[in-house]
Structure 1
Amino acid sequence: MSARTFVVTGASGGIGGAIAEALAARGHRLVLAGRDGARLAALAKKLPASADAVWVASDLTRADGRAALVTACADAGGVDGLVNVAGVGCFAAFERMDENAIADVVTANLTATMQLTRALLPQLLAKRGADLVNIGSTFGSLAFPGHAVYSASKFGIYGFSEALRREFADRGLCVHYLAPRATDTALNSAEVNALNGAMGNHSDSPAVVAQAVLAALDAGRSGRHYLGWPEKLFARLNLACPALIDKALAGKLALIRRHLP
């Protein structure tokens, strides 16, 4: 893949930072976005000079934050790819969540992603063969107790990606949906880490996710990509025969509830 310009959201976090480093190692130029300016500056400083990294500290749930990023991308000559990583985790009993908490998760994980993608579409469509990568989750295909709102937001990302893949199939935009399993990042609360340990769930490093993004881009075509075994099997089985997953998770409810904050 020849050198191109990618914008990576959530670059001040573990997965976003790892994706930025992997793209830079391939010789691509980068526009980095995140809420933590100090971490973005540190990341930009350690990337190779060829990355010509520009960083924008902004809150993408706000219109002015998205506008600042879109302007930075235009100033960089436009972008050939958008990697939507920014988001938040949420492990909570749904009955104890308030309206603001629900809205915050949906806005951060779904609405902001949709709005930023819409705002950057003119730049992406101007570059034939541009790539849109949306980072979802195994829980975007397999809803999990204690993750009702998070799962809903990631199911939304799955549906958004699928619709765009079909809507722009004849306009040269490659749309990739990538669903990691549990990943070692600061987004995981202590309760989530404890539950993963109790259930024996494997957790990947952010570098594993970053390499999966590169593989998706190398394929040169739109697609869906699931990480991890047996998680990818369970996600697909849930779509084909959800009653089996209902029964399996029913047996785990007591364990899950013990770890809920």
Structure 2
Amino acid sequence: MKLQNKTVLLTGASGGIGRTVAKTLARQGAHLLLVGRRTDSLNTLLEELPGQHRAITADISSDEGRQLIATHCQESGGINLLINLAGTLDFSFFEYQSDATIEQIITTNLLSPMLLTRRLIPLLKTREEAAIINVGSTFGSIGHPGFASYCASKFGLRGFSEALCRELADTPIKVFYLAPRATDTSLNSTAVNDLNQALGNKTDSPQRVADALVELVTSNRQQHYMGWPEKLFVRINALFPGIVHSALVKKIPVIRKYTEHQLETK
């Protein structure tokens, strides 16, 4: 899909990756509907973008918010591309997470994108060319200690993307799945950044994720896993999970150290 003059709905637009994605898409000539929960952040972003775009202040985790988004899409004459980017994470061992935190992660990262997508599929079907991009994570393929709830949400999003891609194969809608590795955004706590450094994990910039997203949708590949050796670990974990399991179990003392430090600073 060429992005020039395409109408794109982007959730999580005011976040670290979202802002960069919005700027990258605007430079490609797309018309953007930017979704976020903070009007001031969205308006600031609008001022930074070339071209004419619209902001939608809405919470995708509520039915009211999803209906508001759908209404804006209809009033804009429809959309060509839905990008489910909104997300959240909490770095903690599962037993120490609250029910509210677990529910928020699953709702924001999995349930809300599913419900929003279902509401917009009829609108997307009316276009000659349409697509959905679900932004997941390497942790949607590898269960990592300290991120059990986050992994569950991203594993679910990956499965949803795969099944939906097959369901919509005889429609104009294409479904893409992008799996970034660790990315330098405000979602990462100090403990997460320190853990990545201690484990030697490489971290990508939001711009690299934005470029990968554009490359994915314009190349018409169904999925893309970012980073090396992360994409190799994804394949090894699928074929020989015991190898990755042993490697991560050895790192538990280091991971536990940083989760405990985060608990102390909360």
Question: Do both proteins adopt the same fold according to a TM-score greater than 0.5, normalized to the shorter chain?
Answer: yes
CA deviation after TM superposition for structure 1 residue 99, in Å:
1.7
Correspondence for 2:15: 13
CA deviation after TM superposition for structure 1 residue 102, in Å:
1.0
Q: How does 1:73-222 map to 2 (within 5 A)?
A: 73-221=73-221
CA deviation after TM superposition for structure 1 residue 14, in Å:
1.0
Q: Which amino acid is the alignment partner of residue 215 of structure 1?
A: E
Q: Cα deviations across residues 102-138 of structure 1 (Å, max 9, x unaligned)? A: 1111001100000000111111111122010000000
**DSSP-derived class of the 2:83 partner:** strand
Correspondence for 1:256: 255
CA deviation after TM superposition for structure 1 residue 257, in Å:
0.3
Correspondence for 2:45: 43
**Distance in structure 1 (CA, Å) of the matches to 2:101 and 2:182:** 22
CA deviation after TM superposition for structure 1 residue 163, in Å:
0.4
Q: Which amino acid is the alignment partner of residue 208 of structure 2?
A: V
TM-score, with structure 2 as normaliser: 0.95
Correspondence for 1:236: 235
CA deviation after TM superposition for structure 1 residue 21, in Å:
0.9
CA deviation after TM superposition for structure 1 residue 233, in Å:
0.6
**Distance in structure 1 (CA, Å) of the matches to 2:37 and 2:230:** 30
Q: Which amino acid is the alignment partner of residue 74 of structure 1?
A: Q
**Distance in structure 1 (CA, Å) of the matches to 2:10 and 2:235:** 28
CA deviation after TM superposition for structure 1 residue 220, in Å:
2.8
Q: Which amino acid is the alignment partner of residue 22 of structure 2?
A: A
**Distance in structure 1 (CA, Å) of the matches to 2:97 and 2:26:** 40
2:63 aligned with 1:63 = yes
**Structure 2, gaps ≥5 residues long:** none
2:30 aligned with 1:31 = no
**Distance in structure 2 (CA, Å) of the matches to 1:101 and 1:209:** 26
**Distance in structure 2 (CA, Å) of the matches to 1:17 and 1:82:** 16
Q: Which amino acid is the alignment partner of residue 129 of structure 1?
A: E
**Distance in structure 1 (CA, Å) of the matches to 2:100 and 2:212:** 34
Q: Return 210-219 or 149-158, whichever deviates more.
A: 210-219
**Distance in structure 1 (CA, Å) of the matches to 2:182 and 2:118:** 28
Q: Which amino acid is the alignment partner of residue 152 of structure 1?
A: A
CA deviation after TM superposition for structure 1 residue 19, in Å:
1.1
**Structure 1, gaps ≥5 residues long:** none
Q: Give the total of aligned pairs.
A: 258
CA deviation after TM superposition for structure 1 residue 256, in Å:
0.4
**Distance in structure 2 (CA, Å) of the matches to 1:40 and 1:240:** 43
Q: Which amino acid is the alignment partner of residue 185 of structure 1?
A: T
* Runs of 4 or more consecutive aligned structure 1 residues displaced over 3 Å after TM superposition: none
Percent sequence identity is: 45
